[in-house]
């Protein structure tokens, strides 16, 4: 599983506050904590007003890249902001995200043509988030075909099928899994990703729903997740699932994480 650490996001109140107060240490610590917990990429989202977004993203990127060695996942709804900050990234990471809304693909794809950058592609368009599986598949196809016209292969694309809240749609998990399987049947090398918390919106004990969603989604073939690697229960769920489905030879990662105290009861210091 590819873990994209979600904790440096200006829409989270404590992060928003740190951005406003220019609290470098807070951001740095969050980057290090996520990296040590097992994040493969660190998501960076400013979440500020548009006029401050470029400046804020650069500030965050500089701190995170100074603190950890992990590649970034640059997160903005505005492709032109991503265009403006991409040059500050020390190494290729992931762009979060494109979709068929507006001219996102047309701005982002040329930027990463011929590079090792990957991209998260959401299955939505100007009409919003599709209700059905087929529309998601159709959008994914267009997203991949457009990428191909810039020589960007499916292996560089993480499709996010945009999970719907279970509270509003009883079949939301099945829709996700169906979409994933269909897209993978067409593009075997493509990656499928998801956030973990959309599914549980409006429900009590959200973390239980999120963790079980994670297990089922990994089992069904999900490749990456935008999640909190510092949440020990989530990480334990992830590692246990990977061990159970035979992706963790000799349970090395699971046992290793336990030994290092990353999962299970916190060890006395």
Q: How far is the C-alpha of 193 from the C-alpha of 117, rounded, in Å? A: 16
Q: Which residues pair with 94 in a beta bridge?
A: 73, 118
Residue closer to another protein, measured from CB, 87 or 267: 267
Residue closer to another protein, measured from CB, 22 or 259: 259
Side-chain half-sphere exposure of 73, counting CA atoms within 13 A? 27
Residue closer to another protein, measured from CB, 221 or 256: 256
Of 11-19, 43-51, 92-100, 245-253, the window that binds another protein (rule: CB under 8 A) is: 245-253
Nearest to 180 by CA among 148, 123, 222: 222
Q: Which residues pair with 192 in a beta bridge?
A: 159
Residue closer to another protein, measured from CB, 153 or 261: 261
Residue closer to another protein, measured from CB, 131 or 259: 259
Q: Closest separation between CB of residue 259 and another protein, Å?
A: 6
DSSP symbols for 146-177:
HHHTTT--GGGEEEE--PPPTTT-TTHHHHHH
8 A C-beta contact, residue 43 and residue 226: yes
Intra-chain end-to-end CA distance of the chain, in Å: 29
Of 14-22, 58-66, 153-161, 250-258, the window that binds another protein (rule: CB under 8 A) is: 250-258
Q: Closest separation between CB of residue 105 and another protein, Å?
A: 40
Q: Closest separation between CB of residue 250 and another protein, Å?
A: 4
Contact between 251 and another protein by CB under 8 A: the answer reads yes
Residues 158-187, mask of contacts with another protein (x by CB under 8 A):
------------------------------
Q: How far is the C-alpha of 30 from the C-alpha of 239, rounded, in Å? A: 21
Contact between 244 and another protein by CB under 8 A: the answer reads no
Of 1-9, 36-44, 174-182, 248-256, the window that binds another protein (rule: CB under 8 A) is: 248-256
8 A C-beta contact, residue 140 and residue 121: yes
8 A C-beta contact, residue 28 and residue 7: no
Q: Closest separation between CB of residue 260 and another protein, Å?
A: 11
Residue closer to another protein, measured from CB, 22 or 252: 252
Contact between 259 and another protein by CB under 8 A: the answer reads yes
8 A C-beta contact, residue 85 and residue 112: no
Nearest to 223 by CA among 36, 41, 99: 41
8 A C-beta contact, residue 94 and residue 71: yes
Among 247, 252, 261, 264, binds another protein (CB under 8 A): 252
Residue closer to another protein, measured from CB, 87 or 249: 249
Residues in contact with another protein by CB under 8 A are 249-252, 255, 259
């Amino acid at each position: 599983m590819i873990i994209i650490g979600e904790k440096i996001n200006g829409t989270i109140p404590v992060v928003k506050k740190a951005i406003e107060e220019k609290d470098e240490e807070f951001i740095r610590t969050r980057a290090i904590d996520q990296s040590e917990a097992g994040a493969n990429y660190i998501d960076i989202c400013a979440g500020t007003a548009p006029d401050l977004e470029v400046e804020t993203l650069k500030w965050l990127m500089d701190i995170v890249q100074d603190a950890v060695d992990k590649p970034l996942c640059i997160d903005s709804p505005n492709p032109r902001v991503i265009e403006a900050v991409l040059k500050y990234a020390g190494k290729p990471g992931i762009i979060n995200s494109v979709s068929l809304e507006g001219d996102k693909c047309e701005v982002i794809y040329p930027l990463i043509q011929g590079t090792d950058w990957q991209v998260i592609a959401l299955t939505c368009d100007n009409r919003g988030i599709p209700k059905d599986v087929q529309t998601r598949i159709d959008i994914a196809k267009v997203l991949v075909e457009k990428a191909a016209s810039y020589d960007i292969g499916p292996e560089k694309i993480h499709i996010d099928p945009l999970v719907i809240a279970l509270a509003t749609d009883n079949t939301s998990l099945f829709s996700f899994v169906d979409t994933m399987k269909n897209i993978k049947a067409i593009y075997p090398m493509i990656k499928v990703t998801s956030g973990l918390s959309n599914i549980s919106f409006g429900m009590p004990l959200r973390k239980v729903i999120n963790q079980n969603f994670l297990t089922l989604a990994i089992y069904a073939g999900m490749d990456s997740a935008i999640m909190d690697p510092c949440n020990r229960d989530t990480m334990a769920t992830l590692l246990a699932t990977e061990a159970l489905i035979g992706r963790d030879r000799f349970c090395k990662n699971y046992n290793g994480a336990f030994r290092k105290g990353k999962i299970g009861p916190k060890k006395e210091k």
